[in-house]
A and B are shown apart, each in its own frame.
Chain A
């Protein structure tokens, strides 16, 4: 009994070491996931923010074709980083709509001119109400809305090159 007891400090140390090591090697998921994934798109009715594109209405989704709904802002730096990837998706035939968070007409116009414009519609969300309704917690985020108007996937953070296959696969599944 005594002999075994001698080993307990070492065993405790091993346990603590294992816990710390696992936390270092595989950090926990700190992202805030939307609980709206799997549910129908909530009622959105956002006015247009640019002069040449309509705003966002829930009725425009779920018309037999999946669409991407991109949450972005002209003041958001990672949104600049993901702009070329969204352009790529657009060129691949993906239809993309957007919600502009706390933004202005001039800001969005300048952003699109400089970094490309993949959007069919852009809704003006001055007080983040649509963002809250979607369960989104930041910019940029990208939702897949399926052919029946249900949210089927949420991508958190900027879309990078390595995320494109997953997004295309999710869009395929959402048909």
Chain B
């Protein structure tokens, strides 16, 4: 009996939801009517990080907050704002973290410079390896 009750509870249990009960925002899943504007919005959305899912862009995420961020991007594009302006607005609020296109700074310099350094090192190595033996 106990086992059966446990089983029933397990079967009937619903996961605790971390989402609101409201429907998604108006422009979260609806494209803009103007295809040029939509393309611009999409390009921007692909370079903005969803701040709750952390590993996805807001274009890729189904999190509610990503939906709200998409709605915000589309609304502003529709109102005639430039993508760069919207990106600046986001970066002002969340720091460079929110952008998948980080600017060159002291903390990102190794990312940009390491490939050049490694390439130089490789060239040096290759030159030594392919050099004619001096004998």
Contact = CB atoms under 8 A, between A and B. Distances in A.
Do A and B share a complex?
A: yes
Interface of A: 30, 32-36, 73, 75-77, 101-104, 107, 126-129, 131-135, 137-138
Given A73-B20, A102-B22, A138-B52, A33 B68 contact: no
Contacts of B125: none
A88 B44 CA distance: 44
Nearest to A100: B20
17 contacts: A32-B94, A33-B95, A34-B94, A35-B92, A35-B93, A36-B92, A36-B93, A76-B18, A107-B21, A126-B22, A127-B26, A129-B72, A132-B93, A135-B93, A135-B94, A137-B52, A137-B94
Contacts of A35: 91-95
Contacts, number: 66
A127 B25 contact: yes
Nearest to B90: A132
Nearest to A74: B20
A137 B65 CA distance: 8
Contacts of A126: 22, 25
Interface of B: 16-22, 25-26, 51-52, 54, 64-65, 68-69, 71-72, 90-95, 97
Contact of A132 (B19, B54, B72): B72
Contacts of A107: 21
B68 A75 contact: no
B94 A133 contact: no
B93 A129 contact: no
Most buried by A among B21, B54, B93: B93
Contacts of B51: 32, 137-138
Nearest to A42: B93
Contact of A128 (B21, B54, B65, B93): B65
Given A102-B64, A128-B68, 9 more contacts: A33-B95, A35-B91, A35-B93, A36-B93, A77-B16, A77-B18, A127-B71, A127-B72, A129-B72
Contacts of B20: 73, 75, 101-103
Contacts of A127: 25-26, 68, 71-72
Nearest to A78: B18
A51 B91 CA distance: 36
B116 to A, nearest CB: 25
B68 A134 contact: no
A149 B94 CA distance: 20
